[in-house]
Each structure stands twice: as C-alpha cells, then as structure tokens.
C-alpha cells in the first residue's frame, strides 16, 4: 500500500473509531437513564439500547474489515464501509430521537 493510501486509511479508521466512541458514550448515558425509569419505559429503552449495541458491534466489525484491506481492495472496502456506516448512523439518529422525545 502506498504511503498516501496508508495515511488516508489510518485517518478514515480514526474518524470511524471516534464515531464509535461517541456512540459508546451515548450508550452509557442511555443505560443510566434507563435505570431511573419506570418499568415500561425501561423495557423500551433496553430494546433500543440493544439496537445501539448491535450497531456498535457492526461498526467495530467494519473497522476491522477496513484494517485488513490492502491497496488492491481498499477503495472497494471503504465504499462498502461507507454504505454500511450511513445505515448505522441513521439507526443511531433514530434511536437518539426516541431517547430525547
């Protein structure tokens, strides 16, 4: 892999990792909020927390795929990661709206 692609790949991975860190912070906040909620609200929140945990796991897996990509398939893997990441981000936004409403 040439130096430019390597740097681009590293920066891209850092960007995605930062997003995962943000989602993990939200997850911690939501878990704390769920603890202080009524039983019904807690059940709903826990379902949404599980969805976020699934998104975080998928995101972690995509970062691992990206880390394994070589010069020949880096752009293809990145495009696949971007498609998946958009879906994950949309899912997190949807969950966030449920927690703030």
Lowest-pLDDT choice from 1-5, 22-26, 78-82, 85-89: 1-5
At 7-17, the pLDDT tens digits run 888 899 999 99
At 6-47, the pLDDT tens digits run 888 889 999 999 999 999 998 898 888 888 889 988 898 899
Give 18 or 83, the one with higher predicted confidence. 18
At 90-101, the pLDDT tens digits run 888 888 887 776
Three-state SS string over the chain comes to: CCHHHHHHHHHHHHHHHHHHHHHHHHHHHHHHHHHCCCHHHHHHHHHHHHHHHHHHHHHHHHHHHHHHCCCCCHHHHHHHHHHHHHHHHHHHHHHHHHHHC
Q: Total structural domains in the chain?
A: 1
Q: Which structural domain range is residue 54 located in?
A: 3-100
């Amino acid at each position: 892999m040439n130096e430019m692609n390597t740097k681009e790949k590293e920066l891209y991975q850092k960007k995605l990792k930062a997003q995962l860190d943000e989602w993990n912070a939200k997850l911690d906040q939501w878990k704390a909020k769920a603890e202080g909620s009524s039983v019904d609200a807690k059940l709903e929140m826990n379902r949404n927390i599980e969805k976020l945990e699934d998104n975080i796991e998928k995101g972690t897996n995509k970062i691992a795929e990206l880390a394994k990509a070589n010069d020949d398939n880096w752009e293809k893997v990145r495009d696949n990661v971007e498609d998946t990441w958009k879906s994950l981000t949309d899912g997190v936004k949807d969950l966030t709206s449920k927690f703030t409403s």
